[in-house]
Amino acid sequence: MSGALPPPFEDPSEHTSRYGPAFWSCLAIGGGCMAFGLISLFSRAAATDPPNFAVFFVGLALIHDLVLAPVVIGVAWLLRSVTPRGIRGVLFGALAVSAVVAGFSIPFVAGWGIQPDNPSFLPRDYGLGLLVVLAWVWITAVAIGLARVWVRRGGRR
């Protein structure tokens, strides 16, 4: 026997990281951005109100995990049986992006926190903006889906 290990096993001395320079660069940039945000949050505590931010942050996580994600997963599960396999990823991606954009925009569309004596606060038509963004998401998804179908069918004939 040559000392080689059977196929299911790897020599730990030969193990190398699967993460390349792009991963580590993005990790450094993202970590720096998060550090900047946390330092700013706590160094300006009088203006940022960290306990209020913590409630907001935890509340958003709970809304995402208990409402938004289950609804998107449920809708995707219902649509998977009637959706051609080649465009499921595009459809489900557009569905997820739409849910996140809609969830994020609810306070703006509803006008929560609007101040009548300050016209510069929430000055735009956020409902129209939401519709425009959702239209672009779905137009892009349809274009990608049609392109995939066209390529799968062999392009021009």
* Separation between Cα atoms, residue 135 and residue 138, nearest integer Å: 5
Residues 16-44: what's their mean pLDDT? 93
Q: Which two tokens stand for residue 2?
A: 């040559």
Q: Which of 60, 134, 65 is nearest to 97 (CA)?
A: 134
The predicted model scores a pTM of: 0.68
* Separation between Cα atoms, residue 103 and residue 73, nearest integer Å: 15
Q: pLDDT tens across 21-34, in order?
A: 999 999 999 999 99
Q: What is the per-residue pLDDT for 113?
A: 78
* Separation between Cα atoms, residue 136 and residue 130, nearest integer Å: 10
Given a cut of 80, whether residue 17 has pLDDT beyond it is no
The domain locations on the chain are: 49-152
CB atoms within 10 A of CB 140: 14
* Least confident residue range of 36-40, 46-50, 117-121, 132-136: 117-121
Asked if 121 and 108 touch (Cβ cutoff 8 Å), the reply is no
Q: pLDDT tens across 84-142, in order?
A: 888 899 999 999 999 999 998 988 999 887 888 888 888 889 999 999 999 999 999 99
Residues 14-23: what's their mean pLDDT? 80
